[in-house]
Amino acid sequence: MSELELRLDGRRILVTGAASGIGLGMTVNASAPGPVATPMLTDLVDGEQPNVASLPLGRVGEPHEVAAAAAYLASIDAGFVTGATIDVNGGLLMR
């Protein structure tokens, strides 16, 4: 397993464990963003363009795309969603 897969697996265990233990009508979910066009990404690639060739969508994500996934998980529309992780990563990791 790669380091990324181990981190994501750990996040999955945390979310599903918390969701099963909370009950009381509360939901526990997570988003797992991939590379997103932010200053942090620019710092990681030393100001150069990130290599998007390994991303199936061929581009990095935009902050509003990650925010939309988080907003959905926090909305009433996701009232029956719990223990889930939404991958917002352009296909970098497909399950």
Looking at residue 11, its pLDDT comes to 61
Q: Tell whether the model's pLDDT for residue 4 goes beyond 60.
A: no
What is the reported pLDDT for 83? Answer: 86
Q: What is the DSSP letter of 89?
A: S
Please report the pLDDT score of residue 5 as a whole number: 60
Tens of pLDDT, residue by residue over 30-89, are 899 989 988 887 776 666 666 778 789 999 999 999 999 999 999 999 999 988 999 999
Alpha-carbon span 75 to 85, nearest angstrom: 15
**Residue 67: its pLDDT value, please?**
96
Region 3-88: CATH code = 3.40.50.720
Of residues 12 and 27, more confidence is placed in: 27
Please state the domain extents for the chain. Answer: 3-88
Q: Record the tokens describing residue 67, joined without a space.
A: 């925010």
